[in-house]
Amino acid sequence: MKNLKISTAQFENRSGDKSYNLSVIARLAKQAAQEGSDVIAFHECSVTGYTFARNLSKEQMLDLAEPIPDGISIHKLTEIARENNIVVLAGLFEKDSEEKLYKAYVCVDKNGLVAKYRKLHPFINPHLTPGDSYCIFEIQGWKCGILICYDNNIVENVRATKLLGADIIFMPHVTMCTPSTRPGAGFVDPLLWENREADSTSLRLEFDGMKGRSWLMKWLPSRAYDNAIYAIFSNPIGMDDDQLKNGCSMIIDPFGDIIAECRSFDDSFVTATITPEKLTLAGGHRYINARRPELYREILGQEHDSEQKVVWLDN
């Protein structure tokens, strides 16, 4: 494998406005390509918007969702990838021929759809169907996987994706700044966003505290560290419907170190060059090889009552 230059983006999407959101994706992808990036990743439902979907009926969801790969958004993403010679990853709602609805995330290059993943643990809208499989694909010889938002909080999903061969896991989110049972969680006042130019300090304190980044740091680097992967985290900045999101899109290496992070309040991206050497130098590589699955194969596979609540639970 050769070094790969990856960008992760953040932007303030507009609810249901695919044309606008795709225009931002096109602008940032073009800029990243001009700066030499091979890949750019955007957040969960970056094409459609996310939080507003909690109030949509099934009929409204079907109007918003698209077939993949034949929908207009996939064609537009392919056009963006082709014009800029860059791989693009973005999210949207999908509908199939039986009118089942999914939370999807796609990888597109100049030739069209490379990979599609359906979120395993969707909860923003009761009409969404959970995905039922992991996703492994290649970008320039690198084995990649996708896990959307809450999927990453179930540690088995990350380990399973790694064991299937992924050395890069794209982790698109719409997260942080929401209520939770954990201490310090909660919404961030939208007035702080409106006043961000006059008082950036108060907004940054909220974004970086336990409502936001400090919580993320409790677990996200460990997913990369334990599994010796590159984690490509993407998250929106600004208002998503009536909820404020804090960005912090970042790239974490197999040592669990942040090697690039968006720290502005703007639509933006950051870029890092990832190298194959870290995959085997990192401790997680040794830990995976030292596993003794005969001790816990039956334990991990035990049946249990799966709890899937349609509520805000951090992700």
Looking at residue 314, its pLDDT comes to 43
Q: What is the pLDDT of residues 64-105, one digit of tens each?
A: 999 999 999 999 999 999 999 999 999 999 999 999 999 999
Residue 308 maps to a domain: no
Residue 312 lies in a domain: no
Range of the domain at 56: 4-293
Instruction: Give residue-wise pLDDT tens across range 22-69.
Output: 999 999 999 999 999 999 999 999 999 999 999 999 999 999 999 999
The neighbour count for residue 209, using CB atoms within 10 Å, is 15
In the chain, the number of structural domains is 1
Best CA proximity match to 207, nearest among 241, 172, 176: 176
State the average pLDDT for the chain.
Answer: 96
Question: What is the DSSP annotation of 160-222?
Answer: HHHHTT-SEEEEE---SSS--SSTT--PPPHHHHHTTTT-HHHHHHHHHSTTTHHHHHHHHHH
Give a yes or no: residue 279 inside a domain.
yes
Residue 192 burial (CB count, 10 A):
17
Determine the average pLDDT of the residues in 269-280: 98
Is residue 184 included in any domain, yes or no?
yes
Is-cis flag, bond preceding 69, omega within 30? yes
Give the pLDDT of residue 295.
96
Say whether pLDDT at 315 is over 80.
Answer: no
The residues facing 138 across adjacent strands are 143
Rounded to two decimals, the pTM is 0.96
| Average pLDDT over every residue of 125-131 | 97
In tens, the pLDDT along 163-204 reads 999 999 999 999 999 999 999 999 999 999 999 999 999 999
Residue 310 has pLDDT above 80, yes or no: no
The confidence score (pLDDT) of residue 308 equals 59
CATH number at residue 98: 3.60.110.10
The answer to whether residue 301 scores a pLDDT higher than 70 is yes
Q: Does residue 300 fall inside a structural domain? A: no
Number of neighbouring beta carbons within 10 Å of residue 36: 11
| pLDDT for 291 beyond 90 | yes
Answer whether residue 306 shows pLDDT above 80. no
* Residue 224 belongs to some domain of the structure: yes
Q: Please indicate, yes or no, if residue 307 is contained in any of the structural domains.
A: no
Tell me, yes or no, whether 187 lies in a domain: yes
